[in-house]
Structure 1
Amino acid sequence: MSQDTMDLTGLRVLVTGAAGGLGRAIAEAAHAAGAHLILTTRTADSLPRAAAGLDGPPEVVTAVADVTNDAELAAAVKLATERLGGIDVLVNNAGVSGPVGPAWENGPAEWRHTLEVNLEGPLAACRAVLPGMIERGHGRVVTVSSHAGHTRWPYVSAYSVSKAAVNKLTENLAIELLPHGITAFSYHPGMVNVGLGAPAGEDQDGDDPWRRRLSSWLDAQREAGRFAPLDAAVGNLLRLVRGDADPLTGRYLTYEDDIEALAAATGHV
C-alpha cells in the first residue's frame, strides 16, 4: 500500500522532536493523511519549523517539551487534551546520536545524556500520555529505534545501548498495557538522509577522528544504496500509527517489514 492512500483521519498524534529530520517528515505525512497533530520541540525557537506549511485542517498544536523535562511534557499533553480532546498515538522520535569512539573514552556526562534522551525520554513521554490513553481504553505508542539496538554499533555504543534498552522497554510496556487496549512498538526506519543520517560535512573536516570515521562510514553506506527511501521509512511507521500492526504489539519492526502480512499471521504478542 502506498503512503498516498494512507488514511489517518481523526487520529490525534503526538510527535516528539518534530522540528526537523525524521520527526518533521513524520508530521508532514501524518498531517497529509488526515491526523490531528501535537508537535513538540526542545526550544521555543524551533517551534515555527515544526508547524511550517501545515496549514488548514486537520489541526496542528505545537508545544515546547524537552523529553528530559517532565513538567514540559505534562504541559504539552494538557494542551493537547484541551485543544484536541486527547492523544491517540504517541510517536517517540526525539533522540541524540551521542558520543563517538571507544566506550571507555567517552565522557561520562555525554554517555548518561544519551541514555537520558533516548531511553528515559520515551519513558517520560509515556508517563505523560498513558494515563489519558488508559482512561479512554485505547492508544498506541511507537518509539523510533535502530538496527544499532537490535545488533550493535561499535564506537557509537551509547546510542546502540540506548536503542537496545528502548526495544526491551517496548516489550515490557506491551505486556503491561495489554489489559488497557494499548499497543506499543519499537520501529527501525532505516538509515535515512535526514536527521541523524543526514550528510555532515563538518564532521569529515573536524578534529575528532572518530566523528570523521563515522561520517565516512555513513557516506559509504549511502553510496552503496543501503539508505532507506524516506517515503518507505515514514510509510511503514504510519501503518503502525493507523493500527495495522496491533496484533504484533511489543515487536521490533522495520521499514522493510510487510506489516500487513505479519499481522495477519499472528493474533497475540
Structure 2
Amino acid sequence: MQDNMTDTPDEDYDTINSIVTSLESVVFTLRSNQTNDFVSVKKSIGVKIGTISQDVQFPTSNRSVSNLFDNWIRETKNTIVLSKDSFDDLAEITSYSILVIKRQESSEPQLSRTNTSRTISALKIVSDIIAVSVDADQGITLKSPLTLTFGVSNLTQLESHVTPACVYLDTSVSGHVTWSRKGCLTESFTDDQIICKCNHLTSFAVLMGPKQLAEHQALTALTITGCSVSIVCLIITIIVYLYLWRYVLYNTVTQLYFWGFREST
C-alpha cells in the first residue's frame, strides 16, 4: 500500500453497499411490476428498465427517449452495451434494469481496501457506479461480455501517476464488502473515458491507484516467470546429469577392469 493512502474503514464499504443494495431493491420492485420500458432520471440517479428483445444500450440514441434524460445523463460519457446474444441459452431471462449512481464531484473519492490476491488495494473511485441486473441469478456468466464505458475527469493530469482498474462491488464473502476485478477487463482508456468488459452482472465502477501498484504487479509476474524458468532449467540439468553419469560410471568401471587385467598379466 502506498504511503499517501490509508484504508477506508469497513463501515464505508457497508455504506456504499447499503446504498447500492437499497436502490437495487427499489429497481427490482419496479422491474417486477413494470410491463413496459421505463426510464427515470433524477438529480444523481438514473434508472432504465426494459425487456431483452434486442441489444441493450443506455443511454439510448433514440432522441424521443433521450429528451427524458436529465442533463447529467445526456452529457455523461457513460454507456452500457449488452448484447442480446449473452442470454441465448437463458430463455427465462426476459427483462433487465440499469442503475446509474452519479459520483459527487465535490466530494473526495473514497479509498478502497482489499485483502485478497484477486482484488485491488489502495484505489480511489473516480467514476459513477453502474449496476446492471436481470430477472435471474446475478451469478450467471455472460456468453458475450458486458461493455461499460465510464466517463472520468482529470485523467490527463493523473495518468502519469495512476493506473485505472475496472472493478465490481464484491459481496460474496459473508460480512466483507470490497472491490474486485475478477471477471472484469480494463480494455482501454483515453483522457476522459475508460472501457471495461465484464463477464457477469453486478455493480461496477472504475478505480484509480498509484502506478507503482501496476509496476509492482508486473515485477511480481516477471519474478515468478524468472524463478519458474530457473527451476525448469535446474530440473533439466539434473536429468541430463543423471543420464550422462551412467556412461561416465560405465567408462570408469571399464577402465579399472582393463588396468586390473593388464596388471594381472
More helix by share: 1
The two structures share one fold, judged by TM-score above 0.5 = no
TM-score (norm 2): 0.27
Instruction: Give the greater-gyration-radius structure (CA).
Output: 2
More strand by share: 2
